[in-house]
Amino acid sequence: MEKNIEIEGINPVELFGVNNINLSKIKSFFPKLKIVSRGNVITIVGDHEVMDVFEVKFQMILRYFHKFNQITENAIEQIMFDDGTTPETNDGSETLVHGNGGVKIKAKTINQRKLVKAVNENDMVFAVGPAGTGKTYTAVALAVRALKAKEVKRIVLTRPAVEAGENLGFLPGDMKEKLDPYMMPLYDALRDMIPPEKLADLIDIGIIEIAPLAFMRGRTLDKAFVILDEAQNATVMQMKMFLTRMGQTANFVITGDMSQIDLPRKQRSGLSYALDALKDVDGIGIIRLNQSDVIRHPLVKKIIDAFEKAEAAEQKLKDEKEKE
């Protein structure tokens, strides 16, 4: 069967994006349909029932565009996985916390929403993916939400102080001043969600603690929302040490990017080890984010994709040489 859908009041070029990137995204959800765009008319050919589903989703996309004057690949994904109602906001997700100036902080992509769901359902969650996918930011928002709701008594944010081309010993200042640059992404996220004066007070009295991973040894972290950031740079022993700090009533979120390991070449990442060892353990959630979750400048997605292709090509060449 064939059906034509007319696009009214919208420039098809803006709707379908540069090089039809948005149209390609839509097509990927309907592989059994032939979808052709000509001017302001889109023609679909295929099974009647599939065409009906397509028409419902496409009308949701049009309503979304009319409301927000734009559409992104992430928004298209959200509509495709939606239960049939039009998103009421740019991302269709719940507000996690109201940030400074009343800004609503939400999960903005499908996998970020999966991360929120996983944290709601599990006491320990691993969130793994490339830079810019909102792993740390979403985790911090969940931690602040839990603190404001009095579900926990404190927030503990930690990361390995692994040197990436610089030596801690040559940085000026005391230990805190040496470590602060490593903790900056955590501070940045918190500053979006808590007024500066209140944040300083919470840190001073220990309700929010930001410390290097080595400082976790020997402790029991209870009634706390604990985030281990940059976990790919934890060794296997450090990872085991950290995970076993978990108290009776605590939430642990472990975030990392396996493409940014700064450990010595022969030393295995504790994150990699934990993902393999714990993948079948009940009560532990594992969420994998990808390029579609990148919410930084559009070039970031392209950079990640280009690096992954280059790394795959290098690995293929290396494998071929080893076979010779």
- pLDDT tens by residue, 153-196: 999 999 887 654 444 455 566 556 666 777 788 888 999 999 98
205's CB contacts (< 8 A; 6+ apart) are: none
Minimum mean pLDDT range among 16-30, 80-94, 285-299: 80-94
pLDDT exceeds cutoff 90 at 230? yes
Domain end marker among 81, 111, 133:
81
Query: Is the same domain home to 156 and 193?
Result: yes
Query: Is the same domain home to 303 and 173?
Result: no
**Are the beta carbons of 193 and 141 closer than 8 angstroms?**
yes
Regarding pTM above 0.85, the answer is no
Q: How many domains does the chain have?
A: 3
**Are the beta carbons of 195 and 100 closer than 8 angstroms?**
yes
Report how far apart, in Å, the C-alpha atoms of 252 and of each of 9, 17, 158, 195, 248 are: 48, 39, 11, 24, 11
Query: Is the same domain home to 184 and 271?
Result: yes
Cα distance between residue 131 and residue 295, in whole Å: 10
Query: Is the same domain home to 43 and 152?
Result: no
* Look-up of token digits 């059994």: 32
Query: Is the same domain home to 183 and 282?
Result: yes
Residue 179 CA to its chain's centroid (Å): 24
Query: Is the same domain home to 301 and 278?
Result: no
Average pLDDT, rounded, for the chain: 85
Q: What is the pLDDT of residues 251-305, one digit of tens each?
A: 999 999 998 888 888 889 999 999 999 999 999 999 999 877 776 666 776 787 7
Q: What is the pLDDT of residues 116-142, one digit of tens each?
A: 999 999 999 999 998 888 899 999 999
Query: Is the same domain home to 288 and 300?
Result: no
* Look-up of token digits 């979006």: 192
Share of the chain above pLDDT 70, in %: 89
**Are the beta carbons of 132 and 260 closer than 8 angstroms?**
no
Residue 213 within any structural domain of the chain: yes
Cα distance between residue 228 and residue 160, in whole Å: 8
Query: Is the same domain home to 137 and 285?
Result: yes
